[in-house]
Amino acid sequence: VIFLVDWERGEPTKAPNPVQTPMPNYGYGMGQVGMGQPLFGGQAGRFGGHSPPHFDQQTGSMSRFGDAQGQAAAMGATNSEGNGNFADQGVSAWRTLFVANQLNQRLSSTRLLAPITWLCMLALLEGMTWKNAARWYPRFTGDDNLISSQFNPFLQFALGTSLWLAIIFLQLVIRRVASVFIGDELHDFVDICSTANVSVLLLDEPFHGFYIHGKAPGGRGELCHSELSTQLHREEKGIGLPRGLTLDDCQTFELYLPPDLSVQISGGSPMHFRQMLYQIFGGVNSTLLTMKNRRPARPEPQDVAEMTRHRCRVQSLVDSLVHAVMRRANDVVQDRTAAHWFWGLVPQGGVAALRQPIFWKDNIGLAWAACLAYGSEIRALGLGLPSGFEWHLALLELFSFQMTWRFQGSITCAAAVAFLVNQTVLTLYAVLGSWRLAHTTLINSIFFVGAKPGAQGLLYIIVFLMLVIHEASS
């Protein structure tokens, strides 16, 4: 589950022909926030017990986003011709779409490159005839009868696995060295969030997830080229405002949420966080079902306005949670020991014993990739060794390679089968992940580009299929 929080705030205008139907207060705007009973009526935090500040783009000052204005923005009426005042009036959608697309392109990315892995296996075993080391009489020169003897299944497994591990390790080392000079795409995504003024909340379990704090230091993401260059230049010189959620500039966190987590939005009573999400997405599913049953099945202006209200309600909910964490950062944001990271230990007593959320600092900035095809990793000497989804997929590829080589006898066919397994799984992961991302961020998937296999991937598949057909015919 992925939620995007756009920190920009527009200035809604009066609808030309407002609908007079009473609507509930969706609370679009930031107000006092509580997280569980310990935070209700607690001492004032960094915002002095008031609503978190809002950067006014027109006046250039920090101010509160008024309750009445927030309610009007959430109601967002439209007239019969489809124009009017939407809940996100005055906020550009392109920054959020850009962040969503960047995340969508990274959903199925991995540290290891399957074409490199299996082409190297094919070149070493078949091209350089290293396969002969796995025969009952291992040798590379000599009697042809000995060289052409049958493969020893134990040596066959040992040779294939050892070469595979060596190629994988070499790729990880090259990737680590290259990241020093050209950067890492995961770190680049965190920078993109800060530049776009959009935060990302990723939940991989009901009460566990990760948070990327993308709030721009200047409070704005709508900048011209000159303003953006000036802001980045100031950060480079060390005179800009910090990007992090806390003063130490940490932007990525692993979080645990208590089951009874509650938040309080401006002008409203405390609301149960998960129950409110269920209620909002129940309304989303109802709207989607209405559009699906309509003939022709396409959205009407009122459907667009309704989906906008749902999206703003989700954003307001997560927005309130983040600002509550900022106010109680000394209690909520904590450091985590290396041993704690290594063993993946949960908070003492489990989430059921939590009275407030826990945000563990991720100073490396890569832990959130556990929600992607990257999966989790074990870091040793600065090298990230995959241990999650990517490692499981790599083992599945190795198993497919070993079984095909053992019983079919062709290394070319075995490498092709392993590569096809990789491409099939990652393609399904990309398609399902893209659908899930569109559903939870409430962004139409028509705006997503680059998630499907490109021409290069299709070319690899065609070449390997031709090799399989050639081996099968011969």
Is 379 in contact with 364 (CB distance < 8 Å)?
yes
CB atoms within 10 A of CB 423: 18
Average pLDDT score over residue span 138-144: 63
pLDDT digits (tens, 9 = 90+) for 304-317: 888 888 988 898 88
Question: What is residue 12's predicted lDDT score, i.e. its pLDDT?
Answer: 43
| Residue with the two structure tokens 């826990």 | 358
DSSP string, 276-299: HHHHHHHHHHHHHHHHHHSSS---
Is 375 in contact with 392 (CB distance < 8 Å)?
yes
Question: What is residue 64's predicted lDDT score, i.e. its pLDDT?
Answer: 33
Q: Which of 195, 188, 201 is nearest to 217 (CA)?
A: 195
Highest mean pLDDT among 54-68, 406-420, 451-465: 406-420
pTM, two decimals, is 0.79
Q: Which of 321, 386, 387 is nearest to 359 (CA)?
A: 321
- Please give the backbone phi and psi of residue 81, each rounded to the nearest 5 degrees, phi first: -95, 0
How many whole angstroms from its chain centre is CA 157?
36
Average pLDDT score over residue span 61-83: 37
Give dist(CA 385, CA 378) in Å, integer. 5
Count of alpha carbons within 13 angstroms of residue 4, beta-carbon side: 28
**In this model, does residue 273 exceed pLDDT 70?**
yes
Instruction: Tell me if the bond preceding 242 is cis, omega within 30° of 0.
Output: no
Show Cβ contacts of residue 425 under 8 Å, excluding neighbours closer than 6 positions: 393, 396
